[in-house]
Chains A and B, each alone.
Chain A
Amino acid sequence: MSILQTIKDKVRSRSIHVAYVDVGSCNGCDIEVLACLAPRYDIEQYGIFVHNNPREADVLLVIGAYTHGWEEKLGPLWEKIPEPKAAIAIGNCPISGCCFNRRGSYVDPPVSKHIPIAAEVPGCPPRPTEILNAILSVRDAVFANWEENHS
């Protein structure tokens, strides 16, 4: 591993910027993501910052079962995130559609059909600690050695 890569890994492991996008959930997962900000879970002690700005994000948290309103919006949003990047599906909805995936509904799950998903956190809704754990594991699995793996 080159010295440059070591430095990049070192810096990146303490600076993960997170954006979240709700593509049609019931709001339950949204508030659990928001609860990660609380002093009890204290997401910033791991060097994770929630900005909700796709242009400076590394990790995109996708919440919800993908409604038709997002057809022309989620793809461009994903394109705006600079490399290296990873998307995490939070909750059952982006994985399977959960209880909304029935005949007659207006959802089109899973989200992995539309953008590449790196990790999935099942649960309706998952606990904040599980969301935190997923972000931390993506950090190690996707961002470590990224330049050498993709050269």
Chain B
Amino acid sequence: MKHTVDVNIPLGPVHPCFKEPARVKCETKGERVIAAEVELGYMKKGIERIMKGRPWQEVMFLAERVCGICSVIHNMVFIEAIEQVSGISVPPRAAYLRVVANELDRMQSHLLANFSYCYTIEHETLGMYLLDLREQVMDLLERLTGARVTCAYIIPGGVRFDIHVEDRAFMLESLARIENDLVRYAGMFESGPMIALRSRGIGILTPEAAERAHAVGPTARGSGIAVDRRTEHPTYRKLGFTPMVRNSCDNYARIMVRFDEVFQSIRLIRACLNDLPAGIIRGGGTCSAGTTRYSGEAPRGELTYSITTDEYGRIAEIQIQTPSIMNIEACCHEMIIGVDSVADVTSTFVSADPCIACTER
């Protein structure tokens, strides 16, 4: 950073707008930010080191605790990697229930991310509406899996619990209510003139820059890049999944992509529940030795697990690649540069939905 700067402004690690500790160091000239750097290292727990040499039964729970917000997808990707190594097949009913749990998790994660953004741009009313909606989604998740966060629902060969008939009816009814409310809230965001002043044209991430920084998830999809690992998942393919894309490349596009994806998740869950196949929810199988690399789409982007197991089902080697690290890089090297005021730094940073716990593990 060899610019002539006026002031060097550090934001964080304890900051009213950040859920998690991270320090954003901005070099400013007047109000314009000319360079930014994100300093991490407050959350490093060494979780991959703990995982090595442990049986999958233990690593399954540790994998969930890589990230508490997107715990279902960490569970799902790890278990599907184990299944790929061992050649275990999943009963169709269980495959559909996995999609339901995963999409409920995505809904609550996106609603939380949009709440954080609304809170950061000081639109607390809309933020509280979204947080209230998120509680209703958490209720559904709790009904299905038995826990709000870190539910360990997905296990090799299937899922842990079946869905009851009355729960299914409750879920469909509740989803209709959530969708109804969300149409109103998304409309408030879409047409709010004050929100547009704080969001449109701020934190521009051009498609070329997004490709250069390897942005993933809603950050890339807000820049017009249709990248989504769910298009390669067999169950999602059966449901006719297509990624949601917006083209305006700013904070507004990223938040609207998340709103679009919540609506899409509601449609996917409804499709799953309406033609839920009958049958068992848990097949059998033995975890065996092998090496594989498996990816899934977390709420923040592509999540990859590379694992090597031994013949007893223990994890010999494991590498986790989480989406937030790429989005944080895209954020500090492309999006924050050139924002017009320091107040927009936090909102731009939050619009990429960085998850520091995922990033540092």
Contact = CB atoms under 8 A, between A and B. Distances in A.
B44 interface: yes
Interface string A94-120: 000011101011110000000000000
A52 B149 contact: no
Contacts of B352: none
A21 B21 contact: yes
Given A21-B14, A27-B357, A28-B150, A107 B42 contact: no
A24 B355 CA distance: 12
Task: Report, nearest first, the 7 A-B pairs whose CB atoms are least far apart.
Answer: A28-B68, A27-B68, A27-B357, A69-B42, A26-B65, A38-B131, A28-B149
B128 A38 contact: yes
Nearest to A29: B68
Contacts of A124: 150
Contacts of A38: 128, 131-132, 134-135
Given A25-B43, A34-B131, A67-B43, 12 more contacts: A21-B21, A22-B21, A26-B71, A34-B19, A38-B134, A67-B42, A67-B45, A77-B14, A99-B50, A99-B62, A106-B45, A125-B149
Contact of B16 (A53, A69, A105): A53
A95 B41 CA distance: 22
20 contacts: A21-B21, A22-B43, A24-B45, A26-B64, A28-B71, A30-B357, A31-B68, A35-B134, A39-B131, A54-B14, A65-B45, A67-B42, A69-B42, A99-B50, A100-B45, A100-B47, A105-B49, A107-B46, A124-B150, A127-B148
Contacts of B52: 104
A68 B15 CA distance: 19
A24 B42 contact: yes
A32 interface: yes
A104 B44 CA distance: 12
Interface residues of A, number: 42
Given A21-B21, A104-B49, A31 B14 contact: no
Contact of A102 (B20, B43, B50, B150): B50
Contacts of A28: 65, 68-69, 71, 149-150
A105 B66 CA distance: 13
Most buried by B among A23, A98, A106: A106
Most buried by B among A30, A70, A73, A98: A30
B13 interface: yes
A27 B15 CA distance: 16
A30 B49 contact: no
B169 to A, nearest CB: 22
Nearest to A32: B149
A26 B44 contact: no
Contacts of A70: 42
A26 B64 CA distance: 9
Interface in A1-53: 19, 21-32, 34-35, 37-40, 51-53
Contacts of B49: 104-105
B263 interface: no
Contacts of B44: 24, 67-69, 106
B61 interface: yes
B68 A34 contact: no
B132 A39 contact: yes
Interface in B134-174: 134-135, 138, 148-150
